[in-house]
Amino acid sequence: MSTKPFGIDVSRWQGSINWDAVAIYEPKVQFAGIRATISWAYMDGWFNRNWSEAHRIGIARAAYHVVYPGVSAKQQMDNFLKVVGDDFGELPLVLDIELAHNQPADEIAAVLLECAAIVENVTSQKPIFYSRASFIDEHITGKGHPPAWLNRFDWWIAHYLRSGEEHQGPPSLPKGLIRDRCLIHQTTPSGAPIGTQSKTMNYDRWQFDEAHFFAYQKDKKVLTLSEKVDLLWTAHPEIHP
């Protein structure tokens, strides 16, 4: 069994979640991907409750949006950012790119990158991209060379075993993606339910150790003005009265 930090990802398909059951589960659930929106108008009906409950029990949260490549990036991100509001979570926002909708590779890439630019402009953090190696290889790289921008982002990669058991990793990567850019491995869509109404749920593993997991959150955090002042005060005792 992997000792890498364990996480889950959830949506309305899990129904009402008992987050207190999540809080006491072993192995400890240390992070959760929580679906917020799809395309330009859809909001996951359980997002607000899942978002607040995950925060209440103290696990790191990543809100995610399912990208429709044939729809305006601005409209989609207006929807996503409106639903998420001012609380961006402890991990960067996530863009789920696993639908092609018969769009050509250049259009899929263009919409994804425009969505990413909007997220970064608003949150001061690059989003994490969620996908599968086979999707990126077929629908973005195609028969050409892997685009250089793949390695400008961190990735959440799905790779499963046919048995439904947790894949022990590492996951297969899209062509051209360096291993250090794979941040999270979605290890199974068939995990036993943890406090959910659904019969299964997605399991995930951070691809580095626990120290990296906590350091990543600290590094990605956008500090408030008061937090910046506190850091400066601590770093410069010579200015203390």
Total domains, the chain: 1
Give residue 173's pLDDT band: very low, low, confident or very high (50, 70, 90).
Answer: very high
What confidence tens digit (pLDDT) does each residue in 27-41 have? 999 999 999 999 999
- Residues designated as active site: 9, 98
Return d(Cα 159, Cα 156) in angstroms, integer.
10
Q: Rounded mean pLDDT of the chain?
A: 92
Residue 182 lies inside a defined structural domain of this protein: yes
Give the model's pLDDT for residue 218. 72
Percent of the chain with pLDDT over 90: 86
Q: pLDDT class for 2, splitting at 50, 70, 90? A: confident
* Pick from 46, 39, 40: nearest CA to 10: 46
Residue 223 pLDDT: 46
Q: How far is CA 98 from CA 85, 103, 164, 180, 228, in A?
A: 24, 12, 20, 21, 38
- pLDDT at position 219 is 72
Rounded alpha-carbon distances, angstroms, from residue 76 to 37, 44, 117, 167, 203: 8, 14, 12, 32, 26
Given pLDDT bands bounded at 50, 70 and 90, which one contains residue 162? confident
Is residue 235 domain-resident?
yes
Each residue's pLDDT tens digit, 191-217: 999 999 999 999 999 999 999 999 999
pLDDT tens per residue across span 82-130: 999 999 999 999 999 999 999 999 999 999 999 999 999 999 999 999 9
42-70: b or e for each residue (b if 16 or more CB lie within 10 Å)? Answer: bbbebbeebbebbbeeebbbbbbbbbbbe
Between 228 and 132, where is the model more confident?
A: 132
User: HEC string of 182-201?
Assistant: EEEEEEEEEECCCCCCCCCE
Q: Average pLDDT in the 58-76 region?
A: 97
Confidence at 177, pLDDT banded by 50, 70, 90: very high
Confidence at residue 233, expressed as pLDDT on a 0 to 100 scale? 57
**pLDDT higher than 90, residue 143:** no
- Please give the average per-residue pLDDT across 13-25, as a whole number: 97
CATH number at residue 124: 3.20.20.80
Is 1 part of any domain? no
Q: Is residue 16 part of a domain?
A: yes
For the chain, helix (H) and strand (E) counts, in that order, are: 7, 9
Query: Would you place residue 164 in the very low, low, confident or very high pLDDT band (cuts 50, 70, 90)?
Result: confident
Give the residue numbers spanning the domain of 102: 6-239
39 in any annotated domain: yes
Is 59 a residue whose pLDDT tops 70? Answer: yes
Type and span of the H or E element at 117: helix 105-123
The lowest-confidence range among 9-18, 54-63, 125-134, 141-150 is: 141-150
> Which candidate, 49, 28, 46, places its Cα nearest to that of 37?
46
DSSP track, 141-171 = ITTSPPPGGGGGS-EEEE---TT-SPP-SPP
